[in-house]
Amino acid sequence: MLLKSRDDQPSMTSVSHWLLDILACPMHGEKLTPTSDARLQCAHGHSYPIVRGVPILFHQSCVDTIGVMKSSKEIAEQAWSGTFHDQYFVDCVGVSDSERALIRELVESNPTIDPVVNVVVAATNGIMYRDSIGKLREYPIPHLRMTCNTNAEMLLDVGCNWGRWSFAASRNGFRVVGIDPSLGSVMAAKRVASKLGLDAQFVVGDARHLPFKNDCFDRVFSYSVIQHFSKTDAKTTFAEVGRTLKSGGISFIQMPNKFGIRCLQHQAKRSFSEGEGFDVRYYSPSELMGILQQSVGETSLSADCFLGIGIQETDFGMMSLSKKLIIIVSGILTRMSRIFMPMVMLADSLYATSKKSM
């Protein structure tokens, strides 16, 4: 059975039955029931709109951490009621005024690459893409270091934005759900998934109140997202990751290492302060392992990359010569760290792999 939302073409309005089976009210964790007017409702009467096949599931008391939750909720209700008609949802993408203007310019030029992706690429993929803003010629989809054992394995991508890691997971055979507080970014993910012919479902919501049942995901993944949370919010999110993982399930989460060379440079620029707002928070390997072992389960660390955060070998063909050299050196150091394990402690970006106890 597919549930239809009320405001879009049939090709983009379906909410998969398996997604409906695992959704839960972010307020109380109760089952959500579809209503005849394309909303989801719990037994306590909390009601959430479905916009173009995407459930909008925010906890009512959420404090907006990145400036898009309020606009996403308001615009979602307008879109559900038929009073909002911007197909790109630019006002809830989470970009500056000048970047919104660039998105609209790109919309008018009818680009090959989705205009939202073309503008947010540096924010999602890292500063190495700063010169590529508005100039992308292909979608930079990375390689996911997780293999799918069966076609039924479900993976949650926390902070999916326009979906690059969700698509990487889908290509690896996972049944994927991406969640992000930005309605505009999630709608871009829907468009790109359709264009690339990839199967992924998306939800608009908050990582601190994941709108899913207990013990429902085989894997939980997150990249370059939780590092921007306060450490209190990060601990809350890690606890939610543990709650939603099945027994024996695995989380694979990227976080910055406070002892990495580039990370030390960035910390020095702000006098080693903790950071505020959307600033990156840095973790020692022992601190990160301790939090995740308590929240999820047995945890190990591996190197994601050196010389920065977000460096992906799959980006090689899109980079200038100087950036290609950085990718090469990072790749060499990452491979060396698999042999000489102490090197992991000096990587700028770490992967924390945690297994929930049976």
- pLDDT recorded at residue 92: 93
| Domain layout of the chain by residue ranges | 224-356
Structure confidence by residue, pLDDT tens digits, 94-109 = 899 999 999 999 998 8
Confidence of residue 6 (pLDDT cuts 50, 70, 90): low
Confidence of residue 10 (pLDDT cuts 50, 70, 90): very low
- pLDDT recorded at residue 9: 37
- pLDDT recorded at residue 1: 38
| Residue 169 burial class via C-beta count within 10 angstroms: exposed 0-12, middle 13-18, buried 19 and up | buried
Confidence of residue 358 (pLDDT cuts 50, 70, 90): confident
Query: Does pTM top 0.85 for this prediction?
Result: yes
Structure confidence by residue, pLDDT tens digits, 254-287 = 999 999 999 999 999 999 999 898 899 999 999 9
Name the CA radius of gyration of the chain, rounded: 20
Mean local confidence (pLDDT), 86-96: 92
pLDDT at 13 over 50: no
Count other Cβ atoms within 10 Å, centred on residue 256: 26
Structure-token pair, residue 244? 């939603």
Confidence of residue 29 (pLDDT cuts 50, 70, 90): very high
Residue 279 sits at the vertex; the CA angle it makes with 274 and 283, to the nearest 5 degrees, is 50
- pLDDT recorded at residue 111: 77
CATH top class, domain 224-356: alpha beta
- For all residues of the chain together, what is the average pLDDT? 92
N residues, the chain? 358
Structure confidence by residue, pLDDT tens digits, 183-228 = 999 999 999 999 999 999 999 999 999 999 999 999 999 999 999 9
Comparison of pLDDT for 12 and 318, the residue scoring more: 318
- pLDDT recorded at residue 60: 86
pLDDT at 145 over 90: yes
Which residues make beta-bridge pairs with 303?
A: 350
- pLDDT recorded at residue 324: 96
One DSSP character per residue, 117-186 reads HHHHHHHHH-GGGGGGTTT-SS------S---SSTT-EEEEET-TT-HHHHHHHHTT-EEEEEES-HHHH
Mean local confidence (pLDDT), 137-162: 92
Mean local confidence (pLDDT), 107-132: 91
Work out whether the CA dihedral 350, 351, 353, 354 comes out positive or negative: positive
- pLDDT recorded at residue 2: 43
- pLDDT recorded at residue 297: 97
Whether the CB-CB separation of 166 and 200 falls below 8 Å is answered with: yes
